[in-house]
Amino acid sequence: PHFGERMTVPWLDQARYADTNGYSIDGGRDMWLWRDWVIQAYNDNMPFDQFLREQLA
């Protein structure tokens, strides 16, 4: 079940994903929805062309 979490690290790093703002007072962030989608896409073994298309759509 942790395959997707491990495999998405380079992808999320390239997209500069962060759970927090990283400075001052952290406000609410909604990017975790995208992070969870990326992890689920890896766990579901989504084809790469579909993976890219759904992110760019």
Q: Is 54 exposed, middle or buried (0-12, 13-18, 19+ CB in 10 A)?
A: exposed
pTM over 0.85: no
Q: Where does the pLDDT of residue 22 fall: very low under 50, low under 70, confident under 90, or very high at 90 and above?
A: low
- Predicted local confidence at residue 31, as pLDDT: 78
Whether the CB-CB separation of 12 and 42 falls below 8 Å is answered with no
- Say if CB 15 and CB 37 are below 8 A apart: no
Domain segments of the chain as ranges: 3-56
